[in-house]
Homo-oligomer: A and B are copies of this chain.
Amino acid sequence: MLFAVIPAGGSGTRLWPLSRAGHPKFLHALTGTEASLLQATVDRLGPLTTPERTMVVTGAAHVAAVARQLTGLPEENILVEPSPRDSCAAIALAASVIAIREPSAVMGSFAADHLIGDPAAWVSTVRQAITGAEQGLLMTVGITPTRPETGYGYLQCGELIDGGPLRRVEEFKEKPATEVAQEYVRSGRYLWNASMFVWRVDVFLGELARQQPALHAGLTTIAQSWDTPEREDVLGAVWPTLPKISVDYAVMEGAAAAGRVATVPGDFGWNDVGDFDTLGEVLPADGSGNVVLGADTVEPKPGVLLRDCERLVVVPHSGRLVAALGVRDLIVVDTPDALLVCPRDRAQDVKKLVDELKERGAEDLV
């Protein structure tokens, strides 16, 4: 049975002012239901594993919130990063801890803050990836592209393995320019890299030792102390020395070059919920295309009053009435200490407002 690892990091600045450094994206109910993205991620794993085999890796600032949202998870399965060291350290920590329990366990790593429209299709895809992992491949779930997106990395696919559905990954491609992305989509040979990985922990740690010996050595030291009274001391001493690097760049690119990475193309309504415009595309809308976040889960009063409005994305998150009249394609996010008004086609630039607030020294608002 799968060990599931959920790296829960990232602040989601393009979802400001809802998402904050202190209460990031994965803790919010951006799912169209009462569940947070994190809770939905755990729920989705139901057919694949158990809470005892599910781990969350998160920052010290978010442990309490994660523990309260995931009441079914054993406490020891919430791994705390003493400081942010990017995804490779976080995932490798989980892999090392799993390896103590079960040295050749198959582990999957799934981001805490993505939406999956068709969870059953997702489970099938992950099951196919598990078969590849059991054969010793580093599996990455690729997403069949639906548009020439320039905001994602791509997987360049090679031959089918044993007639499919697994396919060799020849190369990881960084976020492309528009024309390049168009060519990728046209060719049919590229998938979006959603950073969902499935592998045997021994295979992954072997690749880590080969490509990132310093990281591997540090994590070996940490793992050796894990079930001893020294765990906190060792973690506190070693963790800050680990290289800050993403798992894609640290391990997967080199493993692909060595022919050790494969993918399963997935088509299950994946969305990384990067910004409010995206959220408006995936969540249920009313007859005029307006998406009101949490509209059917929060108290209807005072709620939202929309008149002659189309294609709004409204987040009424302060308990106040949000009234809009005669506007369209607009994002309105209402929180207890900050309000955002912005057209949907500028949703990406919300990050710039956050940057500006940081420059102003308004850290309490970011």
Q: How far is the CB of A335 from chain B (nearest CB, A)?
A: 8
Interfacial chain B residues near A332, Cβ < 8 Å: 339, 341
* A320, CB-defined interface residue at 8 Å: yes
**CB-defined contacts of A340 to chain B, threshold 8 Å:** 323-325
CB of A165 closer than 8 Å to a CB of B: no
Q: Would you call A322 and B302 a contact (CB within 8 A)?
A: no
Q: Are B320 and A346 in contact (CB under 8 A)?
A: no
A255 CA to B243 CA, complexed, in Å: 90
Q: Is A336 an interface residue (CB 8 A)?
A: yes
Decide: B339 and A339 in contact? CB cutoff 8 A.
yes
Instruction: Please provide the chain A residues from 285 to 322 with a CB less than 8 Å away from any CB of chain B in the complex.
Output: 301-302, 305, 307-308, 318, 320-322
Chain B residues near A148: list those with CB within 8 A: none
Residues on B with C-beta less than 8 A from A346 are: 308, 325-326
Task: From known contacts A353-B307, A356-B307, infer whether A337 and B321 are also in contact, taking CB-CB under 8 Å.
Answer: yes
**Of A322, A339, A353, which is in contact with the most chain B CB atoms at under 10 Å from its CB?**
A339
**Residues of A in contact with B (beta carbons under 8 Å apart):** 17, 301-302, 305, 307-308, 318, 320-327, 330, 332, 334-343, 345-346, 349-350, 352-353, 356-357, 362, 365
Could you list 15 further interchain pairs (A-B, Cβ under 8 angstroms) beyond the known A305-B357, A320-B337, A321-B365? A17-B323, A302-B365, A305-B353, A320-B338, A323-B342, A323-B353, A324-B341, A325-B341, A325-B343, A325-B352, A326-B342, A326-B345, A327-B342, A330-B341, A339-B339
Cβ contacts under 8 Å, A352 to chain B = 307, 325
Are A339 and B356 touching (Cβ within 8 A)? no
Q: How far is the CB of A161 from chain B (nearest CB, A)?
A: 47
| A336–B339 alpha-carbon span in the complex (Å) | 12
- CB < 8 Å neighbour of A343 from B321, B327, B345, B349: B327
List the B residue with the shortest CB-CB distance to A352. B307
A54 to B334, CA, bound (A): 43
What's the least CB distance linking A287 to chain B, in Å? 17
A323 x B307 contact (CB < 8 A): no
Bound CA span A339–B308, Å: 16
Q: Most chain-B CB neighbours within 10 Å: which of A321, A326, A353?
A: A321
Contact call A322/B343, Cβ cutoff below 8 A: no
Which of these, B308, B339, B362, contacts A301 with CB under 8 Å?
B362
